Chain A
């Protein structure tokens, strides 16, 4: 229960470490006594015409995932959503969404070296596994982040960070967020068209 507005919520994901109260926008961290939660707020999610919402489901690789949270990034070149999905086995999926672009990704451990992060430019080749490479397409700076639902690593996402898109001709995709030279997050997946995604409970556009 939110200590600020008494809104009740139960975490659905074991991986989520925080939850944004939809009523008062307070960020509530898991494992911290509610009474010790500092009254931090996030700014409201802005209308960006996304057809997804908390509660939308995606059938992917024979498993049904539910949209449980999102980061809305105001990048210097675009507005982008990073949706967090979870299935019944507590497996996490990300859906990167930006103006008709959709990528379904899984979190991937990464330990990019400092020299790999400096001097990056479009066309840079990055091996995602022993047989596939992706190429750097875009470098963004994140200027502002909005949050809703259940998320993790909130504290990093509220900082400014560099976001990098990688992809290749086969539709492989990687999204890297560089918070500082010692901490970064990567997810790897595949690009899809909207009609290729098996979705339910989408938002009707004029809602």
Chain B
């Protein structure tokens, strides 16, 4: 039985490096695997000369204190790591600076924590990257995700402290390219002698404190990180699909209700002003509403022309005296102008009363014509339909269903705009949703 899993992969007792410049003794966790180190005492940078000792190569002008102290231990993905090195880098030709922390585990090797504007990424080397990538395409596919080109740059080392498994200044021709599919980022480093690929994953403040302890003081955040996820970040595709399914479902239900609706005409009549009594009311003959409590629709037609017609309708139960009231205005105007004939409004309209119980009913009609015109005497028609489809319910639900996707769309658009502000390769919003 393999003893791998039973071995306690303890860190070896550190060696000691004495700085040849200032004499500071530094604990040497990586032992001879440290091909370079930067003395925290005098900020001189040394490289290992063929394994025979360290030679000073560089001196950093300005000291930078790391947010995570060197030699800190952290548990990440059930493995213990130690922070062995700290680097501050700057993108060539810009003022963009970020910080990197090299973490080491005896069996897993090195991983890196990178911090920019308070946003953290955990970076691991990968071997299963696509080998057929040439140059830097806009989109690459990796593990079923589409990664969008985000950045391409060269960097310089502004400060370093601790131990490193390679010479930080070895090859200044190294070019980095980044593609993102939040919360992930693919990074390709390439120079004349080496090509390396890394997978970075967004590392939240909570992840950091869980790994290093609650006492860790973290830098303040600004902007949106390249791999940062939006809060309540349900993917827009999922919301769109869910909304579409909901709309189709309610449309189907409305369609079924419509088919099952009786839509029975229970009353129809024409009236004019001569039908009004002294109280200016037209009282209709009685009619029956049956089929159970359901909606009643009143269709009104008035033969107006460049005029208006108002009507108040009272539906009165002959037995119980229960009253239902609605009102409707009809307007219709026509004319000619430079563009030809125009018209506005309609001579007919309808209004629906919902949940009217069965019973014997009659209507009290209160028509009003334009008193300034000779409208009196012009007839109007009224029809009453029982058990009609309430399409208003469908439209209300339809509009409500658009609220969440609309809000999420606006949020995502604003969030992605901030994310891509730091990039020269901003894609279209549709490709991000």
**Which residues of A line the B interface, CB within 8 A?**
43, 46-49, 51, 59, 74, 76-79, 98-101, 121-123, 125, 135-140, 143-144, 146, 167-171, 191, 193-195, 197-202, 204-207
Min Cβ gap A74→B in Å is 4
Contact with A along B29-59 (1 / 0, CB 8 A): 0111101000000000000101110000000
Does B285 make an interface contact (CB < 8 A)?
no
Give the secondary structure class of B's interface: loop
Instruction: Report the separation of the CA atoms of residues A98 and B196 in the bound assembly, to the nearest whole angstrom.
Output: 15
Do A99 and B33 have beta carbons less than 8 Å apart?
Answer: yes
Given A49-B12, A78-B166, A139-B194, A204 contacting B127 (CB threshold 8 A): no
B4–A48 contact, CB under 8 A? Answer: no
Question: Which residues of chain A come closer than 8 Å to B104, judged between CB atoms?
Answer: 99
Flag if B107 contacts A169 (CB, 8 Å).
no
Q: Which residues of B contact A201 (CB under 8 A)?
A: 3
**Nearest chain B CB to A127 CB, angstrom units:** 13
Q: Map CB proximity to A onto B182-197 as digits: 1 under 8 Å, 0 otherwise.
A: 0000000011111110
Q: Which residues of B contact A135 (CB under 8 A)?
A: 131
Which residues on A sit within 8 Å (CB–CB) of B51?
A: 43, 46, 74, 79, 143-144, 146
**Most-contacted residue by chain B among A43, A136, A194, A204 (CB, 10 A):** A194
Sample (17) of A-B pairs whose CB atoms are under 8 Å apart: A49-B33, A51-B107, A74-B35, A76-B170, A77-B166, A99-B109, A99-B110, A100-B108, A122-B191, A122-B195, A137-B195, A138-B193, A139-B194, A193-B108, A206-B11, A206-B13, A207-B12
Q: Which residues in A have their C-beta under 8 angstroms from that of B35? A: 74, 77-79
* Contact of B106 with A205 in the complex, beta carbons under 8 Å: yes
Closest-by-CB residue of B relative to A73 is: B51
Closest to B166 in A: A77
A101–B9 touching, CB < 8 Å: no
Question: What is the CB-to-nearest-CB distance from B39 to chain A, in angstroms, rounded to a whole number?
Answer: 20
Contact of B194 with A100 in the complex, beta carbons under 8 Å: no
A-B pairs, top 8 by smallest CB distance, nearest first, are: A100-B109, A46-B32, A122-B195, A144-B50, A194-B107, A47-B31, A99-B109, A139-B193
Q: Please name the residue on chain B nearest to A141 by beta carbon.
A: B193
The residues of A that contact B15 with a CB separation of less than 8 Å are 47
Measured CB to CB, the closest approach of chain B to A64, in angstroms, equals 11
In the complex, what distance in Å separates the CA atom of A99 from the CA atom of B165? 8
Does chain A have a CB within 8 A of B7? yes
Contacts of A139 in B (CB 8 A): 193-194
Binding site for A on B (CB under 8 A): 2-5, 7-13, 15, 30-33, 35, 48, 50-52, 104-110, 127-131, 134, 165-167, 170, 190-196
The minimal Cβ–Cβ distance linking B155 to chain A, given in whole angstroms, is 17
Task: Among A49, A77, A170, point to the contact of B170 (Cβ < 8 A).
Answer: A77
Query: A138-B194, A202-B3 are known contacts. Are A48 and B105 too (CB-CB below 8 A)?
Result: no
CB-nearest residue of chain B to A139:
B193
Closest chain-B Cβ to A38's Cβ sits at a distance in Å of: 22
Asked if A198 contacts B2 (CB within 8 A), the reply is: yes
Question: Contact: B110 with A100, CB < 8 Å?
Answer: yes
- Which chain A residues border B50 with CB–CB below 8 Å? 74, 143-144
Q: Which B-chain residue is minimally distant from A47 (CB atoms)?
A: B31
In the assembly, what is the distance between CA of A192 and CA of B22, in Å?
A: 42
B107/A100 in contact, CB under 8 A: yes
- Shortest CB-to-CB span from B24 to chain A, Å, is 21
Closest Cβ–Cβ distance, residue B333 to chain A (whole Å) = 73
A169 touches B108 (CB 8 A): no
CA distance A191 to B106 in the complex (A): 17
Q: In the complex, are the beta carbons of A204 and B8 less than 8 A apart?
A: yes
Q: Which of B7, B48, B128, B192 contacts A204 (CB 8 A)?
A: B7
Least CB distance, A205 to chain B, in whole angstroms: 5
Contact of B127 among A169, A197, A199 (CB under 8 A): A169
Asked if A167 meets B31 with Cβ closer than 8 Å, knowing A77-B166, A123-B195, the reply is: no
Partner of B194, one of A46, A137, A146, A206: A137
Contacts A137-B194, A204-B7, A205-B10: A195 and B107 contacting too (C-beta < 8 A)? yes
The residues of A that contact B167 with a CB separation of less than 8 Å are 76-77
Query: How distant is B189 from chain A, measured CB to nearest CB, in Å?
Result: 10
A45 to chain B, nearest CB (A): 9
Q: Which residue of chain B lies nearest to A136 when distances are taken between CB atoms in the complex?
A: B195
B202 CB to nearest A CB, Å: 22
- Chain B residues whose C-beta falls within 8 Å of the C-beta of A123 in the assembled complex: 131, 134, 195
C-alpha spacing A133/B230, complex, angstroms: 41
Give the residue of B11, B31, B130 whose beta carbon is less than 8 angstroms from that of A169: B130
Complex: chain B residue closest to A135, CB-CB: B131
Rounded to whole angstroms, the CA-CA distance of A168 and B52 in the bound complex is: 35
Chain B residues, Cβ within 8 Å of A195:
4-5, 107
Flag if A197 contacts B2 (CB, 8 Å): yes
When chains A and B are docked, how far (Å) is the Cα of A48 from the Cα of B194?
Answer: 23
A137: chain B residues at CB < 8 Å are 194-196
CA distance A147 to B364 in the complex (A): 111
Is B52 within 8 A of A205, CB to CB?
no
Q: How far is the CB of B195 from chain A (nearest CB, A)?
A: 4
Known: A47-B31, A100-B108, A122-B195. 13 other contacts (CB 8 A): A43-B51, A47-B12, A49-B106, A59-B2, A77-B194, A100-B105, A138-B196, A144-B51, A169-B128, A194-B107, A205-B9, A206-B13, A207-B12
A199 / chain B contacts, CB cutoff of 8 Å: 2-4
In contact, A202 and B109 (Cβ under 8 angstroms)? no
With contact pairs A47-B32, A99-B33 given, residues A202 and B7 touching in the complex (Cβ less than 8 Å): yes
Distance, CA A18 to CA B219, complexed state (A): 56
Chain B residue contacts of A204, Cβ below 8 A: 7-8, 10
Distance between A118 CB and nearest chain B CB, rounded to angstroms = 14
Q: Are B13 and A197 in contact (CB under 8 A)?
A: no
